[in-house]
C-alpha cells in the first residue's frame, strides 16, 4: 500500500540536520559541560532512526553507506590506540596529555587526547545502536 507522507519527509529533511548539529555540539562540549561521546552517539543514532522512519531502510543504507559492524570495530580500535599510545612516551597505560594550540579559526584552544578516546566511544555507540536497530527492523 503506497501512502503519501510528504509532510513527515519534508520535516525530516530539516530536523535531521538540527539533530546532527546538536549531536556534534554535545560531543565536543563534553569536557566542560554535560554531554560527551555516549549522548552524542545516541543522538546521531536517533537522527538516522528518524531518517529510517520517514524513508525506508534501503534508501538510508544507500545515502549512508556505512557498515556499522566495521564502525564499532574502528571505534574500539581508536579507544585502544589512544590508551596504548601513552606507552610510547614512557608513561603508564591510559595517561592522557593536553596542550594549548593556536588554531587559525578558533584562537587558543586546549586539545586533549581524551577527545580521541571519546571519539572511539562515539563510534562504538553509533555502530552498536544502528546494528541492533537494523537487525531487528530488517526481518520480514
Partner 1 sequence: MMMFYWISLIVVSIGFTGLLFRLVKGPTIADRVVALDAIGISLVSIVALLSLITETEYFLEIILLLSILSFIGTIAFAKFLERGEIFDRNNNR
Q: Smallest gap, in angstroms, from Cβ of residue 66 to partner 1?
A: 17
Q: Smallest gap, in angstroms, from Cβ of residue 60 to partner 1?
A: 9
Q: Which one, 10 or 95, has the nearer CB to partner 1?
A: 10
Q: Which one, 8 or 114, has the nearer CB to partner 1?
A: 8
3-state DSSP assignment of residue 62:
helix
Spatial separation of the C-alpha atoms in residues 51 and 14, rounded to whole Å: 11
Q: Which one, 46 or 113, has the nearer CB to partner 1?
A: 46
- CA atoms 39, 40, 43, 45: torsion sign: negative
What dihedral angle (degrees, nearest 10) is formed by the CA atoms of 85, 88, 93, 96? -60
Q: Smallest gap, in angstroms, from Cβ of residue 122 to partner 1?
A: 16
Q: Smallest gap, in angstroms, from Cβ of residue 127 to partner 1?
A: 18
Grid cell for residue 69: 559492524
Q: Which one, 27 or 117, has the nearer CB to partner 1?
A: 27
Spatial separation of the C-alpha atoms in residues 100 and 69, rounded to whole Å: 35
Q: Which residues bind partner 1 (CB under 8 A)?
A: 1-3, 8, 15, 19, 22, 26, 33-35, 39, 43, 46, 49-50, 52-59, 133, 137-138, 140
3-state DSSP assignment of residue 110:
strand
Amino acid at each position: 500500500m503506497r501512502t503519501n507522507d510528504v509532510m513527515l519527509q519534508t520535516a525530516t529533511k530539516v530536523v535531521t540536520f538540527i539533530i546532527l548539529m546538536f549531536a556534534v555540539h554535545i560531543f565536543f562540549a563534553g569536557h566542560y559541560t554535560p554531554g560527551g561521546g555516549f549522548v552524542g552517539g545516541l543522538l546521531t543514532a536517533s537522527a538516522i532512526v528518524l531518517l529510517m522512519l520517514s524513508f525506508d531502510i534501503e534508501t538510508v543504507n544507500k545515502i549512508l553507506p556505512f557498515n556499522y559492524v566495521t564502525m564499532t570495530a574502528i571505534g574500539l580500535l581508536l579507544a585502544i590506540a589512544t590508551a596504548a599510545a601513552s606507552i610510547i612516551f614512557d608513561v603508564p597505560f591510559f595517561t592522557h596529555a593536553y596542550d594549548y594550540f593556536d588554531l587559525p579559526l578558533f584562537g587558543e584552544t586546549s586539545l586533549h587526547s581524551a577527545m580521541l578516546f571519546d571519539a572511539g566511544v562515539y563510534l562504538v555507540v553509533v555502530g552498536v545502536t544502528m546494528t541492533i536497530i537494523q537487525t531487528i527492523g530488517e526481518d520480514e
